[in-house]
């Protein structure tokens, strides 16, 4: 493995002073429904509202003094954009965020609120990469990939490290899979620190590139993803895929209605705000709940950044 236990431990030590130690919550009603003990690691309470803060910060904290002068750059319209902007702000360096011109105003506003400089581009992969390359050439900023980056992956793995520290004897840990940063970090942490625990990924049926990749034993890129879980639209990367292939027990695909139902259950019963992507992990458990009777399950609630003006219920 590229990322060793020591790397994860150093990562956690590095970012710990700057992140929240998020709480682990449970709900007796959800436990009753599943017939299992479920522990929710609440990354919706993380700084800027999602686990992405961990990986972004880990990468930013390892920049050289030279690199810090030029800042960082990424392309993202989601939580990683905000996470990188905030991480950079905390270290007093610049963050250039390439976003499609049609990205929701609320997301642009959030990035600006954290002091990020937005560079708009047309809404396609080519424009995004061209614009990013131009920004990097002009500014000398270091490009950080939202998930296909070992420093980012190691950072995301620290959520599972904390969960395992508090609940050592989990039978399963479940997290959503999009680009694979969270699930691969989670799988690595679990592999080293709780090897008997099985790692399961939840994935939307309408963006099932991870499931396809596992089926065909090769990296299948996502095309035309369709899901409410807007954090899970991206393809696996060449760094995240092999970790998932080797360390994730299985990918469980869930329908849109199952995602919304799981999200509603979390909001109504736990009284916490989670984004649709977060609910995918619980939806995966609810879908096959008969398999989890009497088990201890950790679920990573990935984030809570949701547009309240556009809810699915």
| Catalytic residue set | 52, 77
Q: What are phi and psi of 75, to 5 degrees?
A: -115, 125
The number of beta carbons lying within 10 Å of the beta carbon of residue 54 is 33
Q: Does residue 309 touch a second copy according to CB under 8 A? A: yes
Which residue carries 């080797």 as its tokens? 246
**Shortest reach from residue 268's CB to a second copy, in Å:** 6
Q: Which of 49, 78, 155, 178 binds a second copy (CB under 8 A)?
A: 49
Q: Does residue 304 touch a second copy according to CB under 8 A? A: yes
Half-sphere exposure of 84 (CA within 13 A, CB side): 30
Q: Which of 39, 45, 51, 172 binds a second copy (CB under 8 A)?
A: 45
Distance, in Å, from the CA atom of 94 to the CA atom of 71, rounded to the nearest integer, reads 4
DSSP state of 185: H
Q: Report residue 57 as tokens.
A: 């910060």
Binding region for a second copy (CB under 8 A) out of 72-80, 205-213, 227-235, 305-313:
305-313
Q: Does residue 274 touch a second copy according to CB under 8 A? A: yes
Distance, in Å, from the CA atom of 56 to the CA atom of 68, rounded to the nearest integer, reads 14
| SS3 assignment, position 210 | helix
Q: Does residue 166 touch a second copy according to CB under 8 A? A: no
Comparing CB distances to a second copy, the nearer of 28 and 217 is 28
Query: Binding marks (x or -) toward a second copy, 233..272, rule CB under 8 A?
Result: -------------------------------x--xx--xx
Q: Report residue 300 as tokens.
A: 């990573």
Instruction: List Cβ neighbours of 137 (8 Å cut-off, separation of 6 or more).
Output: none
Size of the site for a second copy (CB under 8 A): 16
Write out the residues near a second copy by the rule CB under 8 A.
23, 44-45, 49, 264, 267-268, 271-274, 304, 308-309, 311, 313
């Amino acid at each position: 493995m590229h990322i060793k236990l020591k790397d994860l431990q150093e990562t956690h030590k590095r970012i710990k002073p700057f992140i929240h130690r998020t709480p682990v919550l449970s709900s007796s009603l959800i436990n009753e429904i599943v017939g299992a003990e479920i522990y929710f690691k609440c990354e919706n309470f993380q700084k800027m509202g999602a686990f992405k803060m961990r990986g972004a910060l880990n990468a930013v904290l390892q920049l050289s003094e030279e690199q810090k002068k030029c800042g960082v750059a990424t392309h993202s319209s989601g939580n990683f954009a905000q996470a990188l902007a905030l991480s950079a702000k905390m270290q007093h360096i610049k963050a250039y965020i390439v976003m499609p011109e049609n990205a929701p105003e609320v997301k642009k506003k959030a990035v600006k609120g954290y002091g990020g400089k937005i560079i708009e581009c047309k809404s396609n992969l080519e424009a995004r990469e061209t614009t990013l390359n131009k920004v990097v050439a002009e500014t000398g900023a270091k490009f950080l990939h939202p998930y296909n980056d070992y420093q980012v992956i190691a950072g995301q793995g620290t959520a599972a490290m904390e969960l395992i520290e508090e609940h050592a004897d989990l039978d399963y840990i479940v997290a959503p899979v999009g680009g694979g940063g969270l699930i691969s970090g989670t799988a690595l942490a679990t592999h080293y620190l709780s090897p008997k625990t099985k790692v399961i990924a939840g994935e939307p049926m309408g963006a099932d590139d991870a499931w396809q990749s596992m089926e065909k034993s090769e990296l299948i890129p996502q095309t035309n993803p369709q899901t409410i879980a807007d954090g899970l639209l991206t393809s696996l990367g060449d760094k995240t895929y092999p970790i998932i292939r080797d360390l994730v027990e299985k990918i469980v695909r869930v329908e849109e209605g199952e995602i919304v139902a799981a999200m509603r259950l979390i909001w109504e019963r736990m009284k916490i705000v989670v984004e649709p992507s977060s609910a995918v992990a619980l939806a995966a458990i609810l879908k096959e709940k008969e398999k989890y009777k009497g088990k201890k399950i950790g679920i990573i609630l990935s984030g809570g950044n949701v547009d309240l003006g556009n809810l699915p219920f």
